[in-house]
Amino acid sequence: MRRGKLFHLQLAFTLAVCTFLIVPVILSVLAGVTVNYFQGLSSGLTLRWLGEVWALYSETIFLSLLIAVVCLAVNLMIGVPAAYVLARKGGRLARALEEIIVLPIAIPGLAIALALIVTYGGFRDFRTGWSFILVGHVLYTLPFMVRSVLAVLHSVNFRELEESAASLGASFVQRFRDVILPNVKPGILAGSLMTFTLSIGEFNLTWMLHTPVTKTLPVGLADSYASMRLEVASAYTLIFFVMIVPLLIAMQAMSRRR
Amino acid sequence: MSQRPALLLILLALPAGVVFLAFFLLPMARLVLIGASGEDGAAAYLSVLTTPRHLESMIATVLLSLAVTLAAVAVSTVAGVFLVRHRFPGRSTLVSLLTFPLAFPGVVIGFLVILLAGRQGLVGEVTKALTGDKMVFAYSMAGLFVGYLYFSIPRVILTVMAAAEKLDPSLEEAARSLGAPPWRVVADVILPALKPGLIASGAICFATSMGAFGTAFTLATNIDVLPMTIYTEFTLSANIAGAASLSVVLGLVTWAALALARNLSGSTVAAAG
Amino acid sequence: MMHNTLPEASEPMTAEKTAITLTDCGKTFADGTRALQPIDLAIAGGETVVLLGPSGCGKTTLLRIVAGLETPDAGGRVLFNGEDVTVRPIERREVGMVFQSYALFPNMSVRQNVAYGLKVRRVPREELTRRVDDALEMMQIAELAERRIGQLSGGQRQRVALARAIAVRPRILLLDEPLTALDALLRDRLRVEIDSLLRGLGITAVYVTHDQAEAMALGDRVVVMSAGQIEQIGPPRDIYHAPATDFVADFIGTVNRVPAAALAGWGDEVDGAVLFRPEDAEIVSGEGAHLRGRVASSLFLGDRTRLVLESDGLLPVVVDTRRRETIRIGEEIGIRLKPGHLIPLPSAGREGQTC
């Protein structure tokens, strides 16, 4: 194919967009390992800030991981069966239900968080524990799990698979375990990665739902942005990147394979 | 045979249904009621029009979201269509770079904007070296715009690329066989075919921008986007009814944007996070 | 040697009709796959040439080189009436193209689709309307003019695609498997219509298909291709009755291959194998049979019955008969071949191939 001026113009534009997205990330990583960012790199590299972050905020990291794992487990237990039922039922009712189940994406996290607080804020133990944050995360991530599984279910013609398994004498449990689950595995995997990643990074809901003793990673980040020196905030952000970038890369690899 | 599967299906759907009912539908209903429980009663829902501060905040948020949506869709269409239509070394790296900030939370993006255009930001250093004046715009509307654009581009580009990949290449070849030059192929065939995808991704972009909280929170200083106004009402003024009514209005606006887009594009608008 | 001498009964060549000459046109894709070996092909003005072959044989690549959607590997040249158009992109080649998927623009009505090429050419409004109406009329879809593409059936879409391609009065009409996506009945009807359309327009046409019946019915000449090479070029009758290579013999119709020694009274006169079509074997009872065998299967096909004969030491032999009486499975019958209806043995090499 001949590549004229238009090709190079578009390439330059695309590269510019890439630069816009990647430069701030590089700045942040550098700032996190520089002795003094205002003096620049010449002041030397250090791991001191990372150490400080660990001392101050390591609990937020563990709490975020804990919530993400439990959130994923809940999604698998309630989201996958729900997706199957939605695909199986079809028709207007199922579409209406699907509509409702994806509402938490359409409605700002702030509104959902407020709704949870005004309804359950009075239950002190619940309000002050991390399960309160978990509830928010489950609401926010469930639509992604359901839709990811639904998409694969629709693409594999599962009804026919299931009917042929039934014609061979498989019971419902056997069909679900031997035919449905293996075939929707890509959707479950993609949904799981998405759920986990979104939970780790969730802020809009979490900021409203957290208490001083239940701070997650993004809450800690906001805290450090407001009160810590730039190097510490950057080092903290660096830790966040290290956690989330492998998940994003895995997500990209999965979507490419499909 | 027909009885048991129905029961099974209900059992399978029950856990998700209960969680949703208890933690989403019920609280949302309560939020709507509380929104009307203030001194003004149900009229609180009009406060977004009657209270000048709320109205300004609403207008600013809508304008910002519209601008971000237009910019993000334009940028992503150019880059996304380019990446789908050409194969060259390094292409997949570009695709990865363009989509990986997908799950960065708003707070982090706010921080990135500070690094880019804040008081010690890169833009400031560069402009100082070039012109002697330090350009700082992170804490203004421009900073918010840049931040929102940052988190919108990856989402929109993914949708645009998915739509562009589904284009039947013979449509383009047919237009060319009829004598259409490249710009006409783009205007007459490619853009019309991408339209549903562009509307859908634009709507998601708009809804996300309307509700975005983290970026504005980090950039903080004196910008009153609606989510910040709600937050201030709730925490500083302890005006729970006011915060609730504004939240409900905000939720209605974003939901309506997505519903409208779905009607326009005739397809399921897939909100991509 | 090339088999592409022009058909004798060729239409009078007028100056407007565009002849196509391909020289040394090969195609290697970026990933290294060789879709097309370098080939030569001359198509006379007004001629309909059908490119026939199994999928992956390079026929579509060849068509796309003529169209200008692919450029041939270095050294290859495409000439329209002697003028080199090798590097000219499709939008300036003045060809009309019909795609397998129809490729109708879903954002435009039928009329807008057909008018598109004229609009791009800035044809004045009145003339445009007239020519669009003519094209719609010619394809008998005038009443569909204001429909959206989504409201049309497959056959209607194909007509719109044809109307759109001919409305611009192209120099050459290129058709890429235009009937493949239709059901059998519709395919037969549209095949007849395309045939009369091509005859009526007298336009140079290149038609790609994997369906031999289509190729036989439409082509002035048929180019049989396999694995990126031309196996044989010739009028349909030649291709059917005198296949140049084993591939052509096997790909077109059904062919039986029997060692001459197995035929009663033939072993002395003919060496090696004898090839014949199922319809060229006559069922005889009693004396005079060249070959006897047991009926292994019998398929009633309406106008004929297809029998498969088995005899010791031979491959199954397929025989078509128009006899009405039922022949039972297991029955032993004899067949007789007409010496004049044998297929000449294709040479082992690829005689018809060009280099």
Rounded alpha-carbon distances, angstroms, from residue B218 to A206, B166, B212, C133: 15, 39, 11, 64
pLDDT bucket at B112, cuts 50 / 70 / 90: very high
**Number of Cβ pairs < 8 A linking chain A and chain B:** 233
Asked if A23 reaches chain B (Cβ–Cβ under 8 Å), the answer is yes
Residue C184 identity:
A
Q: What is the ipTM of this complex?
A: 0.87
Asked if B170 reaches chain C (Cβ–Cβ under 8 Å), the answer is yes
* C-alpha distance from B182 to closest chain C C-alpha (Å): 9
* B175–C105 C-beta distance less than 8 A: yes
Q: Express each pLDDT in A150-207 by its tens digit.
A: 888 888 778 878 877 777 777 888 888 888 888 888 899 999 999 999 999 999 899 9
Residue C272 identity:
G
Residue, of C346 and C50, whose pLDDT is higher: C50
Rounded alpha-carbon distances, angstroms, from residue C58 to A238, C53, C80, C123, C208: 53, 8, 21, 36, 10
List of domains in chain C: 20-250 (3.40.50.300), 256-335 (2.40.50.140)
Contacts of B78 in chain A (CB under 8 A): 10, 13-14
User: Nearest-CA residue of chain A relative to B146?
Assistant: A20
Spatial separation of the C-alpha atoms in residues C307 and A102, rounded to whole Å? 63
* C-alpha distance from C294 to closest chain B C-alpha (Å): 52
Residue C221 pLDDT > 90, yes or no? yes
Q: Where are the domains of chain B?
A: 44-265
Share of chain C above pLDDT 90, in %: 25
The mean pLDDT of A217-239, rounded to a whole number, is 88
The mean pLDDT of C7-26, rounded to a whole number, is 66
Q: Express each pLDDT in C52-108 by its tens digit.
A: 999 889 999 999 999 988 889 888 899 999 889 998 888 888 899 999 888 888 888
Asked if B191 reaches chain A (Cβ–Cβ under 8 Å), the answer is no
pLDDT of residue C325: 77
Nearest to C120 among B87, B184, B195 (CB): B184
Q: Express each pLDDT in C119-151 by its tens digit.
A: 888 889 999 999 999 999 988 899 999 999 888
How many degrees, rounded to 5, is the angle at CA A236 between CA A235 and CA A237?
A: 90
The full length of chain C comes to 355
Q: Express each pLDDT in A61-83 by its tens digit.
A: 999 999 999 999 999 999 999 99
pLDDT of residue C270: 62
* A103–B16 C-beta distance less than 8 A: no
User: Nearest-CA residue of chain B relative to A106?
Assistant: B255
Q: Where are the domains of chain A?
A: 1-46, 57-257
Q: At what angle do helices B191-211 and B141-166 cross, to 10 degrees?
A: 140
Contacts of C95 in chain B (CB under 8 A): 177
| Most B CBs within 10 Å, among A75, A114, A237, to test the B interface | A114
Share of chain A above pLDDT 90, in %: 28
| Most B CBs within 10 Å, among C120, C131, C168, C180, to test the B interface | C120
Share of chain C above pLDDT 70, in %: 91
| Most B CBs within 10 Å, among A203, A221, A241, A252, to test the B interface | A203
pLDDT of residue A257: 65
The full length of chain B comes to 273
Three-state SS at C13: coil
Do residues A46 and A35 make contact, with C-beta atoms less than 8 angstroms apart? yes
The mean pLDDT of B49-67, rounded to a whole number, is 90
pLDDT bucket at C51, cuts 50 / 70 / 90: very high
pLDDT of residue B5: 65
User: Nearest-CA residue of chain B relative to A86?
Assistant: B13
Do residues C302 and C255 make contact, with C-beta atoms less than 8 angstroms apart? no
The Cα diameter of chain B in Å comes to: 81
Residue C6 pLDDT > 50, yes or no? no
Spatial separation of the C-alpha atoms in residues C157 and C42, rounded to whole Å? 32
pLDDT of residue B235: 85
* C90–B170 C-beta distance less than 8 A: no
User: Nearest-CA residue of chain A relative to B88?
Assistant: A11
CATH H-level superfamily of A57-257: MetI-like (1.10.3720.10)
Nearest to A218 among B9, B27, B107 (CB): B107
pLDDT of residue C346: 65
Asked if B209 reaches chain A (Cβ–Cβ under 8 Å), the answer is no
Residue, of C285 and B104, whose pLDDT is higher: B104
Please name which of A67, A52, A53 lies closest in space to residue A210, comparing C-alpha atoms.
A67
Residue B20 pLDDT > 90, yes or no? no
* C-alpha distance from B193 to closest chain C C-alpha (Å): 7
Residue B198 identity:
L
Residue, of A235 and B47, whose pLDDT is higher: A235
* C92–B179 C-beta distance less than 8 A: yes
Q: Express each pLDDT in B226-240 by its tens digit.
A: 998 888 888 888 888
pLDDT of residue C350: 43
* C-alpha distance from C103 to closest chain B C-alpha (Å): 5
- CATH number 2.40.50.140 given to B44-265: no
pLDDT of residue A156: 79
Chain A, window 159-188: residues with a beta carbon less than 8 angstroms from a chain B beta carbon: 172
* C-alpha distance from A14 to closest chain B C-alpha (Å): 5
Spatial separation of the C-alpha atoms in residues B237 and A233, rounded to whole Å? 29
* B178–C107 C-beta distance less than 8 A: no
Spatial separation of the C-alpha atoms in residues C301 and C310, rounded to whole Å? 20
Residue C267 pLDDT > 70, yes or no? no
The mean pLDDT of A3-10, rounded to a whole number, is 82
pLDDT bucket at C50, cuts 50 / 70 / 90: very high
